[in-house]
Structure formats: C-alpha cells, structure tokens
C-alpha cells in the first residue's frame, strides 16, 4: 500500500452537466458512485477524504489541444456552428454537440489535474476521479465520447514535474489519444489492454505499435480477442504488464479504469468480471507508488458503478477490512436485486469454445510483445 491519504475527487456540478439523453455516455455514474461510497462509509475517516476540483485553465488545456480546437469546442457549445467542426469530430453520433459539452469537459479534466496535483504536492498516496478517463481525444479531434484528454494532460503534468509515469489503460477501447501523444517519449510508458481493434473502435492499438524514436518500446499494446475471460486476461496481464512496470520503475502510476470490458457491456464483447480489475489494482499497489485512477467507459451503468466502488475500496485499502460487512451490499447499496453477494461479481463460467479460441490468441500476443518489446528493456523472453 502507498503512503498518504486516499482522495476522491468530485464536484456536484459534474452531476448536473450531462450529455444528450440518447447518448450512451452517462455522466450520472460518478454521482451514483459517490452516493454508494458514502453509504458504505468509504469516503469518511482521516485517511479517506474528498476534494472538489476547478475547471482546467485554458493555459493548461493548450499544452495538449490546439487553440483552434478549443475555440471550436466553445463556439459549438454556444450553438455557433461551423462546417470545419465536422473535421474535428464534432457533431457525430459519439461526439454530439450539446450546451454542457465544454463546461463538463473542462471540469472533468480539472478533476484529473487536481488528482495529479495532490500526488505531486504529497497530499495523497492514491486519488480517484470517476469523471475522468477521456483517452480518445486528440489535439484537434473529438472521438469516442471524448472532447478533452484529461489523462494525457495529467500524465504530461506529472512528467513535466520530473516524474516517470506509467499509464495503464484497462478500458475495453484502445487509449489511442494518450498513446499517440507520448509515442516518441520514454518518460511516459503507455500500456493498454483492450479489445482487438479489428473488432472494436478505434481500430488501432496492435501489438506491433511499439513507439518510435526515444519512445520505441514504451508503447505497449495488448489487443484481446472477443470473449476474453478472467483467467486469460490475468495470464496476459501478469506476463506483460508486471515485468514491464517493474523494469520501468515509474514514480507515479496513472490508471484509466474504464469498466466496459465487463461482461454484459452493450458496446463491447469481452467477458470479464470486476474481480479481474480488483486484482489489477492490488498488483499496482504492490509497487508502492502513488496511483492516480480515473473512470472511463462503462455503458452498463449498474455494473460500472459496482466495479468502481470495488476499485475504490481496494485502492484505499478498505476492502480487506470490510469484506465481511459488505456481504449483501451489492444488492442493498446498489438498489438492485440482480446480485446481493457484495461488490464483487459472481464468477462466470467459461466454455470450452472460449478456451480454445481465446487462449491461443493470448499466448501468441504474449510471445509477440516479448519478442518486440522485452528485449528493448533487457528483459528475458521466456515463451511459456
């Protein structure tokens, strides 16, 4: 466990600003999560506190996004349309134009930057902004419900402070906006586990995309086959992420915790339970580094909120102490009768067909990553 307080970063205003109702991205998830955490006593005590963010400043935003793009976002939100906005990804089905678009995005980004500053100031050991994780946004492009790339800006702020940053993305979609920005740098290593781009947006993030120049070997992509389940994911994560994080030896870890890799998400086709995410967070804590965690995707709202509640409980060290008391809270606190066994998901059965199709692909990708990346970091390539 890292030292320092666990800080939950959230503003009530984020609950009031929203995407259009027909959009799959639901901003109410953070507020619903906070309500559950308060009910469970997971935001109280001297070691678990809350922080309220301010909107990210224009000066900070311009370190990643162009002036032209930021001006377009503001004008579009005000109803001042320009044809060039379409070339910036605005006005599409996944990045609609709506009045709250700019204000929500800069406040959500401010929350992630607040989380980073708390770590840099030594005020927190772990932080969580559930309203963050907009990893698809580019310098002049909105994509995948993402307008302002808060996680890239947070990684940049940490790197500018002289920190070696490990960015781990477990959202089901490849974190292309972050990976592309740091593609030629070695002070920020990006590792992404995501559904194969041949079957899911954004269509990139393949194992042979490993960075260039100084960044060669510091971009690590693990595309996962449809139907990937807990055991197969764990095999991939332990074979690739654990040794690379260890040899990179970051000063800070940034975790984009999209929950759309969970079984039952309407926009993806993996078959994970939230137990896998809890195991990932536990493994990161074992490195004894500060951790900045954000939300991300997750379009089955109840499953996403439960996964984030479990993730926070593990991150702040509460789950081990409260495990017995949490039995039944999956139903009671989440106001659902679907599952009453606590925050952790029930185990899912794995078919023989899943094993026969998923495991060989996982093993082949492990072998490719070890051959292409491990050797660049002086790691031995034992192909098992």
pLDDT over 80 at 323, yes or no: no
Rg from Cα positions in the chain: 20
SS3 346: coil
pLDDT of residue 1: 44
Mean of pLDDT values over 254-260: 98
What value does the mean pLDDT of the chain take?
Answer: 93
Residues contacting residue 162 through CB under 8 Å, at least 6 positions apart: none
Residues contacting residue 373 through CB under 8 Å, at least 6 positions apart: 210, 217, 220, 244
pLDDT over 80 at 324, yes or no: no
Residue 295 pLDDT level (bands cut at 50, 70, 90): very high
pLDDT of residue 382: 63
pLDDT of residue 273: 98
pLDDT of residue 326: 47
**CA neighbor of 190 nearest in space, from 171, 208, 210, 173:** 210
Of 10-24, 103-117, 187-201, 326-340, the poorest mean pLDDT is in 326-340
What does the block give as tokens for 33? 């999560």
pLDDT of residue 3: 62
pLDDT over 50 at 34, yes or no: yes
Task: Check if 288 is active-site.
Answer: no
pLDDT over 80 at 172, yes or no: yes
Percent pLDDT > 90 in the chain is: 90
pLDDT over 80 at 322, yes or no: no
**CA neighbor of 153 nearest in space, from 57, 291, 87, 89:** 57
How many C-beta neighbours within 10 Å does residue 31 have? 18
pLDDT over 50 at 337, yes or no: no
β-pairing, 124-129 vs 219-224, is unpaired
Residue 332 pLDDT level (bands cut at 50, 70, 90): very low
**Residue whose entry in the numeric block shows the structure tokens 């005000």:** 78
For each of the domains in the chain, give its residue range(s) and CATH number, in order of start: 5-377 (3.40.800.20)
Backbone phi, then psi, for 127, in 5-degree steps?
-140, 155
pLDDT of residue 341: 60
**CA neighbor of 73 nearest in space, from 85, 63, 57, 87:** 85
**CA neighbor of 363 nearest in space, from 272, 233, 245:** 233
User: What is the value of pTM for the model shown?
Assistant: 0.95
Backbone phi, then psi, for 25, in 5-degree steps?
-80, 120
pLDDT of residue 319: 75
pLDDT of residue 328: 46
What gap in Å lies between CA 109 and CA 113, rounded to an integer? 6
What gap in Å lies between CA 275 and CA 351, rounded to an integer? 19
**Partners of 6 in the β-ladder:** 48, 126
Question: Does residue 133 contact residue 13 with C-beta atoms inside 8 Å?
Answer: no
Set 10, 65, 135, 136: catalytic member: 136
Interior/surface letters 317-329, b for 16+ CB within 10 angstroms, e for the rest: bbbeebeeebeeb
Question: Does residue 256 contact residue 167 with C-beta atoms inside 8 Å?
Answer: yes
Interior/surface letters 166-194, b for 16+ CB within 10 angstroms, e for the rest: bbbbbbbbbbbbbbbbbbebebbbbbbbb
**Residue whose entry in the numeric block shows the structure tokens 């980073």:** 116
Residue 39 pLDDT level (bands cut at 50, 70, 90): very high
What does the block give as tokens for 371? 């051959």
pLDDT of residue 46: 87
pLDDT over 50 at 231, yes or no: yes
Residue 380 pLDDT level (bands cut at 50, 70, 90): confident
What gap in Å lies between CA 217 and CA 213, rounded to an integer? 9
What gap in Å lies between CA 174 and CA 336, rounded to an integer? 31
Percent pLDDT > 70 in the chain is: 93
pLDDT over 80 at 21, yes or no: yes
């Amino acid at each position: 466990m890292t030292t320092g307080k666990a800080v939950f970063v959230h503003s009530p205003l984020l609950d009031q600003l929203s995407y259009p109702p027909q959009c799959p991205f639901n901003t109410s998830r953070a507020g619903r999560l906070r309500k559950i955490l308060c009910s469970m006593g997971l935001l109280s005590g001297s070691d678990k506190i809350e922080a309220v963010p301010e909107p990210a400043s224009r000066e900070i935003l311009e370190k990643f996004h162009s002036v032209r793009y930021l001006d377009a976002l503001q004008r579009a939100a005000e109803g001042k349309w320009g044809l060039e906005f379409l070339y910036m990804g605005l006005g599409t089905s996944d990045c609609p134009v709506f009045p709250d678009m700019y204000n929500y995005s800069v406040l959500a980004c401010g929350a992630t930057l607040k989380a980073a500053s708390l770590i840099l100031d030594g005020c927190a050991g772990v932080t969580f902004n559930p309203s963050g994780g907009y990893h698809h946004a580019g310098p002049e492009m909105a994509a995948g419900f993402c307008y302002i790339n808060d996680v890239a800006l947070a990684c940049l702020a940490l790197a500018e402070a002289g920190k070696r940053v490990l960015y781990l993305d477990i959202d089901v979609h490849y974190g292309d906006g972050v990976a592309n920005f740091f593609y030629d740098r070695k002070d920020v290593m990006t590792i992404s586990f995501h559904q194969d781009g041949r079957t899911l947006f954004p269509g990139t993030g393949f194992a042979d995309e490993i960075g260039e120049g100084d960044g060669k070997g510091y971009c690590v992509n693990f595309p996962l086959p449809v139907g990937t389940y807990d055991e197969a994911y764990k095999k991939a994560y332990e074979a690739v992420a654990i040794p690379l994080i260890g040899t990179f030896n970051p000063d800070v870890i940034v975790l984009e915790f999209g929950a759309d890799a969970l079984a039952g998400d309407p926009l993806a086709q993996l078959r994970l339970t939230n137990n896998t995410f809890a195991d990932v967070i536990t493994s990161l804590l074992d490195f004894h580094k500060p951790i900045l965690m954000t939300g991300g995707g997750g379009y089955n709202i109840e499953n996403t909120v439960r996964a984030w509640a479990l993730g926070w409980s593990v991150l702040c060290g509460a789950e081990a102490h409260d495990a017995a008391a949490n039995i039944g809270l999956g139903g009671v606190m989440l106001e659902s009768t679907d599952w009453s066994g606590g925050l952790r998901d029930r185990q899912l059965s794995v078919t023989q067909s899943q094993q026969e199709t998923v495991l060989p692909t996982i093993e082949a990708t492990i072998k490719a990553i070890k051959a292409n990346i491990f050797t660049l970091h002086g790691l031995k390539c034992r192909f098992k």
